[in-house]
Chains A and B, each alone.
Chain A
Amino acid sequence: MNQSAKVRALIACCALASIFTGFSARLVQLQVTDHDEYAAIAAEKHVGKQTIYARRGIIMDINGQTLAGNDPVRDVIADASLITSPADVAGLLAQPLGLDENDLTAKLATGRRYIVLKKEVPEATAMELENRLTVHGIRGITFDQDSDRVYPNGTMACHVVGFMNSDHQGVQGIEAQEDEYLRGHEGYRYVERDRSGNELVAYRGEERAPRDGYNVRLTLDMNLQNIVENEIDAACAEFKPKKVIVIIMRPQTGEILAMANRPNFDPNEVSSGSSDYLQAHASGMINCAIADEMEPGSTFKMVTASGALNEHIVQPDSIIYCENGAFNYGGRFLHDHHPYGDLTVDDVLIKSSNIGAAKLALGLGEERLYGYIRAFGFGERTGVALPGEIPGLVYPPQRWSKLSITRIPMGQEVAVTPIQTLSALCAIANGGHLMMPQIVHDITDANGEEISSFAPVEVRRVISPESAREMTEAFKGVVSPKGTAALAKVSGFVVAGKTGTAEKIDPKGGYLPGKYIVSFCGYLPADNPAFACLVMLDDAQTTPEQNYGGMVAAPIFSRIGEKVARYMNLEPQPDEPAGDEVITQRDHD
């Protein structure tokens, strides 16, 4: 090899070495120095975090009937940049989706990459459309999976079940209270896609499976709920009240078997987000059974009488002089509906004597009366697993006026919720135990495995079994021909209960003339109650002579009681012959 050839070879070698060194340096830069940066760019382009949605749990009644479930739906999304013939696609989609064809064509012609054409399209429609698009070879339309919350029973038990907002969050009722359990946990998966956007399954990254929401089983029985709802509808048609509240509870456990209010609403309409519907039904969305407080009226006499019997201040047959209907105390007269002379303690309840109740309270004293009011659960939340419960209003004796001791026993100067009243009654019905009202029976996972179950909770013992039995005997008299609630009688069963008629409070002060909240709460069979029920009507439209708990609410209780007893398969007892005492004029509470 001559000299020049050697030089040329050397130059070529150096050039090649330089080139490869350059390449190597660049490779080192790409692969080592700037690795993280480029890896991140690549990941951003091809790797994505895919959310795996969890299915929301179901709410069901005690028998497993669905009260709130899920209906799969699809959101129709268009990538207009992939659509070559907007008019053809619009022609195919407009009619099944219920959209205007011209509007749809205009939307698709914009070329935008993400257009939501329609939300919550039924699964069947979406699948049919998907097939049709595949047949026509049309690209650019996708169907995103979504789920719609449905309430198959519509308005039934709406205040208990609640509803969800458009962000799939529980807003009211069990939907809100148990949202944490119902919601479940979403999963995720890191996926890598090729240039066409198809997932490369072989390169899947970290993955966490979703955990479906737990199913919540309530203590409600929809058959009982149905009975109650039908009777409420009938009562609304007859009396056109502003509100009606009915609750059925099992006294021994505190389980709520039915709970219904009027006005009500359809959670399906609320969840669909119609603002007109929301405005029209805003007042009906409050669960009055737990979130409405009112003066209870004569039903509150059970507290005073229970206290007096439990403290052995009186016996059921002790005589109370009822001042012939006008009792001057603290410079003000307290009146009874009818003038009574001597009444036994039982008769004070049976005749619903205000003066008799006031005298029992005077015997009990302020502190002990207040103690029993609180012991029966008034002035504090019952703890029922429903959102928005209020504690009511009970002032301590330090804030009482001189007259309070005579007014509180007859259900004035206190504000209570319907559920507190029924809980207190159940405490008498079950022998003296105040039970926490229960609405959730258990929580299970998607496979039916129990996650949590709720045993009955005794809040406290309020009165002795003996006092409770004495109260029951007196309450039996209330639902007898000589009592205020003869119309609450259920054929074949001995019913115990108490009526209430409370004047409505005027927000401006004082009471509204001619406006009443009438109620009846009772249980049957009296000696071993299978259920207790409260019926309350606010401002029933009836004649003044009829506007009493015993005349309006008691018959509703009777109808409900008869059907519930039949449903519960309670064995009827022989009807006792009517007592000797015949009343010519009905007593009122």
Chain B
Amino acid sequence: MNRRRHSNRVPVAALVRWVVVAFFLCAAGLSYVYFKNQMQTTGNDIRSLEGELATLQTEDEAARAQIDRLSSQNYLERRLAEGFIQLTPIRDECIVRLHAKAGTSATADNDTELQPVSNRITAQ
């Protein structure tokens, strides 16, 4: 009767191969789930940031509209009439006029040059 030799030997190489394959399969599966989850989370983050950005843009636009309203001629005139804004018209005698000498510009480039001034309208 023939007896099998080495009948209880464990096929280590094959086992290791299968374990490694199984490990990679598991890792791939888990990674897939992990990345899928990550993608979902990032997506939600993007959505929430987009919402935040839209809110900020809306608030910015609302503030701009408010500034436009408050700086409009109509509003300022109304406030002026109400006495909230105090403005005094410039009297003629308070205006200093620069009278350039003949042949020169009233706004001379040379800052050091003395220019005659007066608060009366005089001949050039």
Contact = CB atoms under 8 A, between A and B. Distances in A.
A71 B61 contact: yes
Contact of B73 (A71, A147, A156, A574): A156
A201 interface: yes
A150 B106 contact: no
Given A153-B74, A571-B97, A575-B121, A72 B68 contact: no
5 contacts: A124-B62, A145-B58, A202-B39, A202-B43, A574-B123
B61 A574 contact: no
B74 A201 contact: no
Nearest to B62: A123
Interface of A: 55, 65-66, 69-72, 123-124, 145, 147, 150, 152-154, 156, 199-202, 222-223, 225-226, 492, 571-575
Nearest to B38: A202
A575 B123 CA distance: 9
Contact of B47 (A153, A201, A575): A201
Contact of B72 (A71, A153, A492): A153
Interface in B85-124: 97, 106, 121-124
A573 B62 CA distance: 48
A573 B124 contact: yes
B54 A65 contact: no
A123 B59 contact: yes
B74 A152 contact: yes
Contacts of A72: 58, 61-62, 65
B61 A65 contact: no
A65 B122 CA distance: 36
B32 interface: no
Interface residues of B, number: 28
Contact of A70 (B47, B61, B72): B61
Contacts of A152: 65, 68-69, 71-72, 74-75
Given A202-B39, A574-B123, A575-B121, A71 B65 contact: yes
Secondary structure type dominating chain A contacts:
mixed
Contacts of B97: 571-572
Nearest to B123: A574
B31 interface: no
B115 to A, nearest CB: 13
Contacts of B58: 72, 123, 145
A128 to B, nearest CB: 13
A208 to B, nearest CB: 16
A571 B106 contact: yes
B27 to A, nearest CB: 22
Contacts of A222: 73
B47 A145 contact: no
Given A71-B65, A123-B62, A226 B73 contact: yes
Given A150-B69, A202-B43, A156 B74 contact: yes
B74 A66 contact: no
A576 B42 CA distance: 80
B64 interface: yes
Nearest to B55: A127
A247 to B, nearest CB: 18
Given A55-B61, A69-B68, A202-B40, 13 more contacts: A65-B71, A65-B72, A66-B68, A70-B65, A72-B65, A145-B58, A152-B69, A152-B71, A201-B44, A202-B39, A223-B73, A226-B77, A573-B121
A561 B123 CA distance: 21
A232 to B, nearest CB: 14
Contact of A145 (B42, B54, B64, B71): B54
A453 B75 CA distance: 30
